[in-house]
């Protein structure tokens, strides 16, 4: 019998990418993925960026215990940012948790899991930070065909945004060597991957920490990755506006593989709030970046993250946020009510806003964004575009096989193809026919089915 595992992931793309790595590693070691109820090993990859993250972990652990109660040997590996913060304290209250993997500890997981299976009374905790980027063997399942891949280029974050827990949970910034990044990208491309997303908490600070020696800097790295044979699309998350360099702006104009979509966290539109947040840019600088990027690449579109109700935020400050959202015309945004994080500077600030007021402002912002997003999506109808096919969706209809892909802006696009004619990783010219709330419909531009 093969051992079984189940993975539950909260949080950012970094966590999604870490969970994927662990799953691939376990599969290569003979494990098989299963439903939660059947799992011998449950990996819970946690996030602590907002709102009661510990409670979320505790309730997930409760759910896991109930689902697996018939299976005495089931154990849990708690990974990610909450694991980094709680550490081995979790062992006191949750007997099922036998492995704690902090931010730099994931690489120890495969061997640790094998030891834990052999020694039922053992518990292990890895929460030390490593001095340099914690390299892990690249695990690829032979014969796997995926269209897209994530590649980490740095760990940690060296900024001190007043609201943010990440520098505490992910440690100081450590860039990976450009050579290691290029080797990993090359291996993915050889398997048929067409799109690579470079990942980091502050991705465009790559190389600034000196950990990777005299590397090429972020824009230089983009150039080297874009030049790799087989790469059709290059993306990255998450950049910080203060580290958007002239070289990076130029790269958007020059590298055709670099997709014309940038997720650039704004956080607030008022200079007073931005200063209190410690963001190190103001409204005018952000707008200037948008202008320069659009000048370099006229079809460029933007998405963002926004926090409403930061301590001391006035109605006027909030209107500045609404104003800049409208001015930039974001295609989409993630917005959140400010939430206190332990040990951060904002936690100690006066003038906290009442929960009701924060929710009201969030609703106003989200209504505005919804309007902008719908108009933007509807404006795409009739456009010619190119989809990178990712997978066939479950519902196959009489019109053919339903496929999902993404356009260069990262928008999910659905299309019907003759049964058996689609394949993930194929770039397909299409014409957009309809806008849904968060996605588009398209038909094959060379007159395929429906």
What token pair was written down for 113? 């899991």
Which residue among 48, 155, 197, 333 contacts ligand SF4 (CB under 6 A)? 48
Q: Does 81 bind ligand SF4 (CB under 6 A)?
A: yes
Stretch that binds ligand SF4, among 165-173, 288-296, 329-337, 364-372 (CB under 6 A): 165-173
Pairing, β 412-417 against β 427-435: unpaired
Contact residue for ligand SF4 among 22, 47, 225, 259 (CB under 6 A):
47
Least distance from ligand 5AD to the Cβ atom of residue 339, Å = 4
CB 274 within 8 A of CB 244: no
Residue 305 sits in the site that holds ligand 5AD (CB under 6 A): yes
Examine residue 163 and tell whether it contacts ligand 5AD (CB under 6 A). Answer: yes
What is the contact mask toward ligand SF4 in residues 5 to 44, using x (rule: CB under 6 A)? ------xx-xx-----------------------------
Q: Which is nearer to ligand 5AD, 23 or 266 (CB)?
A: 266
Cα–Cα distances (Å) from 362 to 53, 59, 283, in that order, read: 20, 26, 20
Binding mask 234-273 for ligand SF4 (x = CB under 6 A): ----------------------------------------
Closer to ligand SF4 by Cβ: residue 165 or 222: 165
Residue 338 binds which entry of ligand SF4, ligand 5AD, none, CB below 5-8 Å type-dependent: ligand 5AD
Measured from the CB atom, the residue of 14 and 293 that comes closer to ligand 5AD is 14
Is there binding between residue 10 and ligand 5AD (CB under 6 A)?
A: no
**Closest approach of ligand SF4 to the CB of residue 320, in Å:** 26
State yes or no: residue 339 binds ligand 5AD (CB under 6 A).
yes
Residues 58-77: x where in contact with ligand SF4 by CB under 6 A, - otherwise, as a string: --------------------
The 3-state secondary structure of the chain reads CCCEEEEEECCCHHHHHHHHHHHHHHHHCCCEECCHHHCCEEEEEECCCCCCHHHHHHHHHHHHHHHCCCCCCCEEEEEEHHHHHHHHHHHHHCCCEEEEECCCCHHHHHHHHHHHHHCCCCCEEECCCCCCCCCCCCCCCCCCCCCEEEEECEECCCCCCCCCCHHHHHCCCEECCHHHHHHHHHHHHHCCCCEEEEECCCHHHCCCCCCCCCCCHHHHHHHHHHCCCCCCEEEEECCCHHHCCHHHHHHHHHCCCECCEEECCCECCCHHHHHHHCCCCCHHHHHHHHHHHHHHCCCCEEEEEEEECCCCCCHHHHHHHHHHHHHHCCCEEEEEECCCCCCCCHHHCCCCCCHHHHHHHHHHHHHHHHHHHHHHHHHCCCCEEEEEEEEECCCCECCEEEEEEECCCCCEEEEEECCCCCCCCCEEEEEEEEECCCCEEEEECCCCCC
Q: Is 338 a residue that touches ligand 5AD (CB under 6 A)?
A: yes
Which residue's CB is nearer to ligand SF4, number 9 or number 385? 9
Q: Please give the Cα distance from 105 to 83 (Å, whole number).
A: 10
Q: Is 167 in the site for ligand 5AD (CB under 6 A)?
A: no
Alpha-carbon span 218 to 222, nearest angstrom: 6
Among 146, 202, 267, 369, binds ligand 5AD (CB under 6 A): 267
Task: Write out the binding residues for ligand 5AD, residues 122-161 only, by CB under 6 A.
Answer: none
Which one among 8, 16, 27, 49 touches ligand 5AD, defined by CB under 6 A?
49
Does residue 336 interact with ligand 5AD by CB under 6 A?
yes
Shortest distance in whole angstroms from residue 52 CB to ligand 5AD: 11
Which of 341, 358, 361, 406 lies at the binding interface for ligand 5AD (CB under 6 A)?
341
Is residue 330 near ligand 5AD by the rule CB under 6 A? Answer: no
Q: Residues in the site for ligand 5AD, rule: CB under 6 A?
A: 49-50, 163-164, 265, 267, 305, 307, 336, 338-339, 341
Residues at the contact surface with ligand SF4, assessed by CB under 6 A? 11-12, 14-15, 47-49, 80-81, 165-166, 169-170, 201
């Amino acid at each position: 019998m093969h051992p079984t595992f189940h993975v539950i992931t909260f949080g950012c793309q970094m966590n999604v990418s870490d969970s994927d790595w662990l799953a691939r590693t376990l599969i290569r070691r003979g494990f098989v993925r299963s439903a939660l109820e059947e799992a011998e090993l449950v990996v819970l990859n946690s996030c602590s960026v907002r709102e009661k993250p510990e409670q979320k972990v505790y309730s997930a652990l409760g759910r896991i215990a109930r689902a697996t109660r018939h299976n005495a040997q089931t154990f849990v590996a708690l990974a990610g940012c909450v694991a980094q913060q709680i550490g081995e304290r979790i062992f006191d209250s949750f007997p099922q948790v036998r492995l704690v993997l902090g931010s730099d500890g994931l690489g120890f997981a495969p061997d640790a899991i094998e030891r834990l299976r052999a020694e039922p009374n053992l518990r292990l905790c890895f929460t030390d930070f490593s001095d340099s980027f914690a390299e892990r063997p690249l695990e690829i399942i032979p014969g796997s065909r995926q269209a897209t891949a994530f590649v980490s280029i740095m760990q940690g974050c060296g900024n001190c945004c007043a609201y943010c827990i990440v520098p505490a949970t992910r440690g100081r910034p450590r860039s990976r060597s450009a050579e290691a990044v290029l080797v990993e990208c090359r291996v993915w491309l050889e398997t048929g991957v067409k799109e690579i997303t470079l990942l980091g908490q502050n991705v465009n600070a790559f190389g600034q920490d000196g950990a990777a020696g005299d590397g090429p800097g972020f824009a230089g790295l983009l150039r080297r990755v874009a030049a790799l044979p087989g790469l059709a699309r290059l993306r990255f998350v998450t950049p910080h506006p203060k580290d958007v360099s002239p070289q990076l702006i130029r790269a958007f104009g020059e590298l055709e593989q670099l997709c014309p979509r940038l997720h650039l966290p704004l956080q607030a539109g008022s200079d007073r709030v931005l200063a209190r947040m410690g963001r190190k840019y103001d409204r005018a600088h952000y707008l200037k970046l948008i202008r320069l990027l659009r000048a370099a690449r006229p079809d460029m579109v933007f998405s963002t993250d926004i926090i409403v109700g930061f301590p001391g935020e006035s109605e006027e400050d909030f209107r500045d946020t609404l104003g800049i959202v409208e001015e930039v015309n974001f295609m989409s945004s993630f917005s959140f009510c400010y939430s206190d994080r332990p040990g951060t500077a904002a936690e100690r600030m006066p003038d906290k806003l009442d929960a009701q007021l924060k929710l009201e402002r969030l609703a106003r912002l989200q209504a505005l964004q919804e309007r902008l997003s719908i108009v933007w999506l509807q404006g795409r109808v009739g456009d010619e575009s190119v989809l990178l096919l990712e997978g066939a969706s479950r519902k196959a209809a009489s019109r053919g096989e339903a496929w999902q892909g993404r356009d260069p802006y990262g928008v999910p696009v659905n299309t019907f193809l003759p049964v058996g004619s689609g394949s993930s990783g194929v770039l397909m010219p299409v014409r957009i026919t309809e806008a849904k709330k968060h996605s588009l419909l398209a038909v094959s531009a060379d007159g395929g089915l429906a």
